[in-house]
Amino acid sequence: MILIKNIKGLVQVREKSPKYLSGAQMQELPVLENAWISLKDGRIYDFGSMDNCPENDTSDVIDAQGSFVLPAWCDSHTHLVYAGNREKEFELRLKGATYQEIAAAGGGILNSAKTLQNTSEEELYQQSAARLKAVMHMGTGAIEIKSGYGLELEAEMRMLRVARRLGETFNIPVRTSFLAAHAVPESFETSGAYVAHIIAEMLPKVAESGLADYIDIFCEDGYFSLNDTDQLLGAAAAYELRPKIHVNQFTAEGGVALGVDHNALSVDHLEEFTKADLTALKGSETIAVALPGCSFFLGIPYTPARRIIDAGLPLALATDYNPGSAPSGNMNFVVSAACSKMKMTPQEAINAATINGAYAMGLENEVGSITKGKRANLIITENIPSIGYLPYSFGQNHIKEVIIGGQRLNSSN
């Protein structure tokens, strides 16, 4: 049992957890002032005001004086399992090459796929474990991880096995997405031919392995068409793999409505966004996911959060952690950038990075709020003046301690 007492503000306290928050609800971030919280068997056991703080029997007591406690970040879109890096492409881009030009010249996703295909499972695990450890220390307590740098069955399965092993080893909820449709390998003439191959040869085996929770595709000009997306999502539905898709990163051509038609859990990126996209999302159970780290790194537009939220829709925030378009898994930066660049309020951004992030990976009953019975995944801040100080004071670390599954992280874990 752990008891955290003298908490200046216990943030995101919900007696009953909402599924997700939409529109004006996102502005409401409940804070219990001068509070305590107790954790038992890896779960949130109880909490309340310091006026009724329980006796300190045998508990491990943390005195949080001056600190805020909030649910750990829920990062619903990452490619954290990858091999090597692409800093050379970064330098090419700084000299004027575009992301698409680099990809067309055999760089980009195909470059990472070549590296991964030549990396052993153990080595891939070690590289990925180091990244996961680092993001957990930055406050991430639940994460979605995609395949997509294998592009052939064995390497895709290797990525998914590594993702599952990470979840078990680090006692953190990991949701996985099967993203073989990330780029077209050189051995295929067309995207359609590769999608047909994924459907016939890869999908049945991946589904049978139980290694994937969701299906993903990079629906984009020069990658996979609307028709490819329709085919793949239709086939995946037969295996009960719900879509979480990459769409509207560079062009908006109707992929959002298609995702909604296929009952996607989330549509991610949306740096380009039309009125038709907004209309398609209304009344659906599909959540929009913004990835400001990608906009920052590639210098492309930011997802129009205000248009989405002001239309009454829900929005989640995630890192997109990957070697090409967002080589950072820091959710604190994402929350900060969402405020500064997308004009979200701190309350909206924190809701988007906790409860809405949890929903965007099907974990809303497990994480994302301070609710009894949910996993004890918590961030304890340093002594900061307000919760809005977190995004305001960007690029600085204000986390004193992170607790995941009731375990206090320290320098040795």
Measure the CA–CA gap between 122 and 55, rounded to whole angstroms. 46
Residues 247 and 259: beta-carbon distance below 8 Å:
yes
Residue 322 as a binder of ligand NIG (CB under 6 A): the answer is: yes
Residues 6+ apart with CB under 8 A from 299: none
- Please pick, from the candidates 140, 325, 330, 369, the single residue that binds ligand NIG as defined by CB under 6 A: 325
**Residue 320 or residue 366: which is nearer to ligand NIG going by CB?**
320
153 phi, psi to nearest 5 deg: -50, -55
Residue 109 as a binder of ligand NIG (CB under 6 A): the answer is: yes
* Torsion of Cα atoms, 344 then 350 then 353 then 359, to 10°: -100
Measure the CA–CA gap between 359 and 206, rounded to whole angstroms. 24
Part in contact with Fe ion (CB under 5 A); list of ranges 116-124, 159-167, 313-321, 360-368: 313-321
Residue 329 as a binder of ligand NIG (CB under 6 A): the answer is: no
Residues 6+ apart with CB under 8 A from 406: 2, 39, 40, 41, 42, 43, 375, 376
Angle at 189 between CA 184 and CA 194, to 5 degrees: 45
- Please pick, from the candidates 20, 218, 224, 321, the single residue that binds ligand NIG as defined by CB under 6 A: 218
Q: Cβ 218 to Fe ion, closest distance in Å?
A: 8
- Please pick, from the candidates 304, 324, 327, 357, the single residue that binds ligand NIG as defined by CB under 6 A: 324
Residue 265 as a binder of ligand NIG (CB under 6 A): the answer is: no
- Please pick, from the candidates 202, 294, 360, 367, the single residue that binds ligand NIG as defined by CB under 6 A: 294
- Please pick, from the candidates 249, 266, 295, 332, the single residue that binds ligand NIG as defined by CB under 6 A: 249
Residue 108 as a binder of ligand NIG (CB under 6 A): the answer is: yes
Residue 139 as a binder of ligand NIG (CB under 6 A): the answer is: no
Part in contact with ligand NIG (CB under 6 A); list of ranges 105-113, 116-124, 208-216, 345-353: 105-113
From the CA atom positions of the chain, what is the Rg in Å? 21
Among Fe ion, ligand NIG, none, residue 357 binds (CB under 5-8 Å by kind): none
Instruction: Report which secondary-structure segment, H or E, holds 34.
Output: strand 31-40
What's the first-to-final CA gap in the chain, in angstroms? Answer: 19
Q: How many residues contact ligand NIG, by CB under 6 A?
A: 12
In this structure, how many other beta carbons lie within 10 angstroms of the beta carbon of residue 319?
29
| H helix intervals, 97-249 | 99-104, 108-117, 121-137, 153-170, 191-197, 203-209, 226-237
- Please pick, from the candidates 158, 175, 246, 374, the single residue that binds ligand NIG as defined by CB under 6 A: 246
Residue 159 as a binder of ligand NIG (CB under 6 A): the answer is: no
50 phi, psi to nearest 5 deg: -60, -15
Sign of the CA dihedral with 89 first, then 95, 100, and 106 last: negative
Measure the CA–CA gap between 387 and 30, rounded to whole angstroms. 11
**Residue 242 or residue 269: which is nearer to ligand NIG going by CB?**
269
**Residue 75 or residue 320: which is nearer to ligand NIG going by CB?**
320
Q: Cβ 217 to ligand NIG, closest distance in Å?
A: 10
**Residue 38 or residue 177: which is nearer to Fe ion going by CB?**
177
**Residue 109 or residue 316: which is nearer to ligand NIG going by CB?**
109
Beta-bridge partners for 173: none
Residue 75 as a binder of ligand NIG (CB under 6 A): the answer is: no
Among ligand NIG, Fe ion, none, residue 325 binds (CB under 5-8 Å by kind): ligand NIG
Residue that has been written with the tokens 């990976």 in this structure: 361
Measure the CA–CA gap between 82 and 119, rounded to whole angstroms. 9
Site string for Fe ion, 317-346 (x = CB under 5 A): ---x--------------------------
The residues that touch ligand NIG, with contacts defined as CB under 6 A, are 108-109, 112, 218, 246, 249, 294, 320, 322-325
- Residue ranges that bind Fe ion, judged by CB under 5 A: 320
